[in-house]
Amino acid sequence: MSKLVPPHGGKGLVCCLLHGKELEAEKEKAATLKTIPISGRENGDLIMMGIGGFSPLNGFMPKADWKGVCENFLLTDGTFWPVPVTLSCSKEDADGIHKGDEIALQNAGGEIMATMQISEKYEMTEADKKWECEKVYKGKGEESEGDNFWKIAPEDHPGVIMVMNQKDYNLAGPVKVLSEGDFPERFAGTYMTPAQSRAHFDERGWSKVAALQLRNPMHRSHEFLAKIACEVCDGVFIHSLVGSLKPGDIPAEVRIECINKLIDGYFVKDHILQGGYPLDMRYAGPREALLHATFRQNYGVNRMIIGRDHAGVGDFYGLFDAQDIFDEIPKPDDPAKRLLTEPLKIDWTFYCFKCDGMASLRTCPHGKEDRVVLSGTKLRKALSESADIPDHFGREEVLVILRKYYEGLTEKVEIKMQSHAEATTMK
């Protein structure tokens, strides 16, 4: 009997991925259906619905769910959900689609990823998209204050750009997923479904599992966060995003190699496990922290490590907004509909020369001048400019891998620094 936290929503793992004869029959049918192109984000969302990562969702959201999630963090049935999961469609395509129709969903690589039965189509005006952005992506940081958000976000916030570039209509309805794409082969040994991660945890006898979200190379601060969690949980799931990122971020293959090097040299392997999941980043800051906790519940995780500026971008979010939001979300009367994965809130961490080790604002009494402030953005910027990396920023074995990657780049993207990364907001 598993001791892990149950999947979100009270329906077990809701998996829309077909197998065997049912899969082959649906593929044949898909070849006869009207084809709708999907974005990278929608492709990742489909796979997560396929493997149960987005339980209890079984399709893209109708307008009432879209509105309820944006406004109140709730689906219409009262289940907690933190971000919209929607499918956009051009007006030209939408004009030929009606309730009850079946369509095929094709990704940018030309693969038919799913079929979908239409339950609703609804227009998304520019005002609707802006409302979604303000509800989901606007934070409490400097770049969200006053009129700053709409002066800065349309050019600098990748999540806002993504929403504003969506097409004119959303399509809603249940899906039948036909493929996991190339993730199982491309990231063999790392990519996992929720059923697989739960099996690993059960095999190890874990009941209290923490997850560390990663989209940057794993530096000393990440390592410290994971080791704190190892002290209070049975094990830590280093769970990396292997979907698409914004320009200038480091590819998943490189990050996975770095994590493996750290696990081999600096962790007790009985208490650590690396995995990967197929989503694109939304860069939604606090809302995305909630999404990370929600789908980690489906993976069997009951503690989500939330540190400084989780899933942030630029200075759109306050330093610890992603921690505070867990105290502000609704808690439905039905426990199965609540978010059961709790945050493991950890203060700003850094290397302190006077403490002679890793520390946090809660444990270190010294000043900024004694500290090496660790940031994935700061590390990427230094590497991209071939600058020196300060002592104690990262493990040398990892820096060797990262330097080799950057030396091989023919085009480099300018990395914009955040005030958090520069430590201008540190006490």
Q: What is the pLDDT of residues 156-165, one digit of tens each?
A: 999 999 999 9
Q: What is the pLDDT of residue 378?
A: 74
Q: Spell out the residues 6+ positions from residue 3 whose beta carbon is closer than 8 angstroms to its own.
A: 202, 207
Q: What is the pLDDT of residue 379?
A: 79
- The DSSP 8-state label assigned to residue 141 in this structure reads S
CA distance 372 to 351: 5
Tokens in use for 49? 């619905």
**Domains along the chain with CATH numbers:** 20-180 (3.10.400.10), 184-281+347-422 (3.40.50.620)
- Decide: 46 and 181 in contact? Cβ < 8 Å: no
pTM of the full structure: 0.93
Beta bridge partners of 17: 177
Identify the band that residue 216 occupies on the pLDDT scale cut at 50, 70 and 90.
confident
- Decide: 375 and 420 in contact? Cβ < 8 Å: yes
Strands 169-177, 112-117: parallel, antiparallel or unpaired by DSSP?
antiparallel
Active site residue 215: yes
CA distance 214 to 221: 12
Tokens in use for 213? 């979200």
Helix (H) or strand (E) holding 236: strand 235-241
More confident position, 427 or 94: 94
| pLDDT tens digits, one per residue of 168-207 | 999 999 999 999 999 999 999 999 999 999 999 999 999 9
Active site residue 216: yes
| pLDDT tens digits, one per residue of 236-288 | 999 999 987 777 778 899 999 999 999 999 999 999 999 999 999 899 999 99
Question: 171 in the Ramachandran plot: left (φ > 0), alpha (ψ -120 to 50) or beta?
Answer: beta
CA distance 373 to 412: 24
Beta bridge partners of 171: 87, 121
- Decide: 312 and 216 in contact? Cβ < 8 Å: no
Closest residue by Cα to residue 396 from 274, 261, 254: 261
Q: What is the pLDDT of residue 311?
A: 87
State the catalytic residue, choosing from 215, 220, 255, 282: 215
Helix (H) or strand (E) holding 397: helix 396-407
Strands 235-241, 209-214: parallel, antiparallel or unpaired by DSSP?
parallel
State the catalytic residue, choosing from 43, 216, 298, 302: 216
Q: Which residues of 194-219 are buried (b: 16+ CB within 10 A; e: fewer)?
A: beebbebbeeeebbbbbbbbbbbbbb
Q: What is the pLDDT of residue 419?
A: 54
Write down the H helix ranges in 102-176. Answer: 126-136, 148-156, 158-164
CA distance 400 to 389: 11
- Decide: 105 and 113 in contact? Cβ < 8 Å: yes
CA distances from 87 to 79, 105, 165, 313 (A): 20, 10, 12, 24
Identify the band that residue 416 occupies on the pLDDT scale cut at 50, 70 and 90.
low
Can you say how many angstroms the Cα of residue 274 is from the centroid of all Cα atoms in its chain?
15
CA distance 227 to 397: 18
